[in-house]
């Protein structure tokens, strides 16, 4: 049987400090079976789009380590940029590449979402194919009001995260997976 491969494209809310970006991507590269393909920082947006691929469990591990490092290094209360955002790791999408279905890929995305919520205490919203709620399929809906709206949103029942605490963390914000 051929190996299952998924792609992960996390967006981190840092696009100017290459030392911070490198520390995050170094975490990804520590995981055997994962290949870092691209690191695309943007100074104006103050956001870096990272692309890596690998076997599903390894991609989940690499994504977790990167999100953990971003939560340690990026302080959203000081973040300014031109791109809509709500967290240190703003989004972390998974894409099926080969020998894996979207349904299987969703299970890995939700596995990551649960772990990040439980272990890192970051509010997580599942979006697109991983959404549990029809409205949350739309990333713009999940991100509405951006980081600044999170303190109020997290107190409302309709905005209870899919995983993690319904509490505002000024440093990490929230993440969409």
pLDDT band per the 50, 70, 90 thresholds, residue 81: confident
The DSSP bridge partners found for residue 175 are 124
CA distance 156 to 107: 27
Catalytic residues: 83
Q: Is the pTM of this model over 0.75?
A: yes
Query: Which of these, 61, 62, 66, lies nearest to 23 by C-alpha position?
Result: 66
- Residues comprising the chain, all counted: 177
How far apart are the C-alpha atoms of 120 and 37, rounded to whole Å? Answer: 26
In angstroms, what CA-CA distances link 75 with 14, 37, 131? 9, 26, 27
Q: For residue 32, which of 52, 9, 12 has the smallest C-alpha distance? A: 52
Using DSSP, state whether 137 is helix, strand or coil. helix
pLDDT, one tens digit per residue, over 35-70 is 999 999 999 999 999 999 999 999 999 999 999 999
Which residues, including other chains, have CB under 8 Å from residue 136's CB and lie 6 or more apart? 125, 126, 127, 142, 162
pLDDT of residue 1: 65
Distance between CA atoms of residues 103 and 112, nearest Å: 15
Report helix, strand or coil for 66: helix
- The secondary structure element, H or E, covering residue 89 is strand 89-91
Report, as an integer, the average pLDDT of 4-9: 98
Count Cβ atoms within 10 A of the Cβ of residue 84 and give its class: 0-12 exposed, 13-18 middle, 19 or more buried. Answer: middle
Q: Hey, what are 135's tokens?
A: 């409205």
**pLDDT surpassing 90 at residue 9:** yes
Q: How high is the mean pLDDT of the chain?
A: 96
Phi/psi of residue 19, nearest 5 degrees = -65, -40
């Amino acid at each position: 049987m051929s190996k299952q491969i998924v792609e992960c494209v996390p967006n981190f809310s840092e696009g100017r400090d290459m030392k911070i970006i490198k520390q995050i991507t170094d975490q990804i590269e520590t995981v055997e079976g994962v290949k870092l393909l691209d690191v695309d920082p943007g100074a104006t947006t103050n956001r870096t789009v990272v692309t890596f691929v690998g076997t599903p469990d390894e991609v989940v591990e690499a994504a977790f380590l990167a999100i953990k490092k971003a939560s340690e290094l990026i302080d959203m209360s000081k973040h300014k940029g031109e791109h809509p955002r709500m967290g240190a790791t703003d989004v972390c999408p998974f894409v099926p590449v080969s020998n894996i279905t979207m349904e299987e890929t969703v299970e890995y995305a939700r596995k990551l979402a649960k772990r990040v919520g439980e272990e890192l205490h970051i509010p997580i919203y599942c979006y697109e194919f991983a959404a549990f709620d029809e409205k949350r399929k739309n990333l713009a809906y999940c991100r509405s009001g951006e980081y600044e709206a999170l303190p109020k949103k997290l107190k409302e029942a309709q905005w209870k995260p899919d995983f993690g605490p319904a509490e505002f963390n000024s440093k990490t914000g929230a993440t969409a997976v």
